């Protein structure tokens, strides 16, 4: 019996740029290779794969698409959205973002690989855009849409921005400005994390003043998108709030220099933020050292000398120091759990340190700050509720608190915590103070 061979079926494929008549033939796939044999359709498939897996073909396709879209950023976004299914964005993310930002693939250091061949570059990129906030914000939207569509690009984009910040020296001043604006806007809308700013602490950028200059432009763009509280909150979360001075060379890493530089640039909010952060850091260190000295029962004269030196060196106000001293003194003891015994224990302990508190309560505001601290402490620690009046009287007798301060606290400067309880405790003593004051005034008039 004769077996008839199956006839080969002919079919036609039509493309906008290609019409191929071919025959079905056996083909073999191995990894990413196509054994072309003599079939034209396999050649087309090969070219499609080549577009995915060769960086230069990836670059050429991307550049061509951007040039065709031109300045129409909606068209650019649509092109990037649709082309992601054909190009391997995951593999060539760095090339993708290099071209979108700089218009060309970048070599290590930031130089353009294709600088001599304009056919392999595009002018439709961030670096060639107009240097105004609205234009750069529109470009930022292109990145937002791209990353929302291809979520796997999120980490790659973060790495790309860190890399571009390291390459700042290779870019012109106007390119640095546009990159700073783009970074600030993307930080503001949450596309980028504040951790990218760590690249600015690189020695070469800091020494040449590039880091500080770039940071100012970035923060301005960021604060045009979000308020100062949002910016400072992001800096704290990234643990960058204590590193802002590192934007300057070592010999200029002072709060005063930072404050002047950023205030002159119109960023007073950041200057104030740094002053507060530095003050908080200083206070924590001072509190830690004070706690250590008190636990070692250092002589009060030595403690006074140390605190005065720290106040002068760090420009700390007396109102802040008196609060720290109170906290440290009260933390230096393990208090009795029985309410009837804790008052006696507290008075004995505080009497020992009254001379120390007296040195740093020389101003009316400091006395009020101490009174408020005592009030809050007695409210927060229930065993001390009945001890408040006894502590105040002790401090009055030891010249820590003045009559004027106690009366002002009673009339208007007390805090809300336990107000009714503590005012009631103090009522008789306050009346005694007022009577004593009146008697003193009448005696003065008679004389």
The confidence score (pLDDT) of residue 57 equals 87
The confidence score (pLDDT) of residue 21 equals 34
The confidence score (pLDDT) of residue 355 equals 95
3-state helix/strand/coil string of the chain: CCCCCCCCCEEEEECCCCEEEEECCCCCEECCEECCCCCHHHHHHHHHHHHHHCHHHHHHHHHHHHHHHCCCHHHHHHHHHHHCCCCCCCCCHHHHHHHHHHCCCECCCCCECCCCCHHHCCCCCHHHCCCCHHHHHHHHHHHHHHHHHCCCHHHHHHHHHHHHHHCHHHCCHHHHHHHHHHHHHHHHCCCCCHHHHHHHHCHHHHHCCHHHHHHHHHHHHHHHHCCHHHHHHHHHHCCCCCCHHHHCCHHHCCHHHHHHHHHHCCCHHHHHHHHHHHHHHHHHHHHHHHHHHHHCCCCHHHHHHHHHHHHHHHCCCHHHHHHHHHHHHHHCCCCCCCHHHHHHHHHHHHHHHHHHHHHCCCCHHHHHHHHHHHHHHHHHCHHHHHHHHHHHHHHHHCCCCCHHHHHHHHHHHCCCCCHHHHHHHHHHHHHHHHHHHHHHHHHHHHC
The three-point CA angle 117-64-170 to 5° equals 45
The confidence score (pLDDT) of residue 366 equals 93
The confidence score (pLDDT) of residue 349 equals 94
The confidence score (pLDDT) of residue 37 equals 42
Its CATH architecture, for the domain 297-436, is Alpha Horseshoe (1.25)
Q: Is the pTM of this model over 0.75?
A: no
The confidence score (pLDDT) of residue 443 equals 56
**Residue-wise pLDDT tens digits, 156-194:** 999 999 999 999 999 999 999 999 999 999 999 999 999
The confidence score (pLDDT) of residue 441 equals 57
**Residue-wise pLDDT tens digits, 220-241:** 999 999 988 899 999 989 999 8
Digitized pLDDT (tens) for each residue of the chain, 447 residues in all: 454 544 444 433 333 333 333 333 333 333 334 444 445 444 444 444 444 457 788 999 999 999 999 999 999 999 999 999 888 999 999 999 999 999 999 999 999 988 778 889 999 999 999 999 999 999 999 999 999 999 999 999 999 999 999 999 999 999 999 999 999 999 999 999 999 999 999 999 999 999 999 999 999 999 999 988 899 999 989 999 889 999 999 999 988 899 999 999 999 999 888 887 777 777 888 888 999 998 888 999 999 999 999 888 877 889 889 999 999 999 988 888 887 788 899 999 999 999 999 999 999 999 999 999 999 999 999 889 999 999 999 999 999 999 999 999 999 999 999 999 999 999 999 999 888 766 655 555 554
């Amino acid at each position: 019996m004769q077996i008839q061979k199956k006839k080969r079926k002919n079919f036609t494929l039509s493309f906008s740029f290609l019409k191929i008549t071919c025959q079905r033939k056996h083909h073999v796939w191995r990894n990413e290779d196509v054994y072309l044999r003599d079939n034209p359709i396999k050649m087309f498939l090969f070219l499609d794969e080549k577009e995915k897996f060769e960086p230069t073909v990836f670059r050429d396709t991307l550049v061509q698409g951007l040039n065709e879209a031109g300045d129409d950023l909606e068209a650019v976004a649509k092109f990037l959205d649709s082309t992601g299914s054909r190009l391997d964005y995951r593999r060539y993310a760095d090339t993708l973002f290099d071209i979108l930002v700089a218009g060309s693939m970048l070599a290590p250091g930031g130089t353009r690989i294709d600088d001599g061949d304009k056919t392999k570059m595009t002018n439709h990129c961030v670096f060639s855009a107009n240097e105004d906030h609205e234009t750069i914000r529109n470009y930022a939207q292109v990145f937002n849409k791209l990353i929302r569509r291809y979520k796997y690009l999120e980490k790659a984009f973060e790495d790309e921005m860190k890399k571009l910040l390291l390459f700042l020296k290779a870019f012109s001043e106007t390119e640095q400005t546009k990159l700073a604006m783009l970074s600030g806007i993307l930080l503001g809308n949450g596309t980028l994390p504040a951790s990218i700013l760590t690249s600015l602490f690189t020695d070469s950028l800091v020494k040449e003043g590039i880091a500080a200059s770039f940071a100012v432009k970035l923060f301005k763009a960021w604060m045009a998108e979000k308020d100062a509280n949002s910016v400072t909150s992001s800096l704290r979360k990234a643990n960058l709030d204590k590193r802002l001075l590192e934007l300057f060379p070592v010999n200029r890493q002072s709060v005063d220099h930072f404050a002047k530089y950023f205030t002159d640039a119109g960023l007073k909010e950041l200057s104030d933020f740094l002053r507060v952060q530095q003050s908080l850091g200083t206070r924590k260190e001072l509190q830690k050292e004070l706690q250590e000295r008190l636990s070692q029962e250092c002589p009060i004269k030595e403690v006074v000398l140390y605190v005065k030196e720290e106040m002068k060196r760090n420009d700390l106000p007396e109102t802040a120091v008196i609060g720290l001293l109170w906290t440290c003194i009260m933390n230096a003891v393990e208090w009795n759990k029985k309410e009837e015994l804790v008052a006696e224990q507290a008075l004995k302990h505080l009497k020992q340190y009254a001379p120390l508190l007296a040195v740093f309560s020389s101003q009316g505001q400091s006395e009020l700050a101490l009174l408020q601290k005592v009030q809050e402490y007695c409210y927060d620690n229930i065993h001390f509720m009945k001890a408040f009046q006894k502590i105040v009287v002790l401090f009055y007798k030891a010249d820590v608190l003045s009559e004027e301060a106690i009366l002002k606290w009673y009339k208007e400067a007390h805090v809300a915590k336990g107000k009714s309880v503590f005012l009631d405790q103090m009522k008789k003593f306050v009346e005694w103070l007022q009577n004593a004051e009146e008697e003193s005034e009448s005696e003065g008039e008679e004389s």
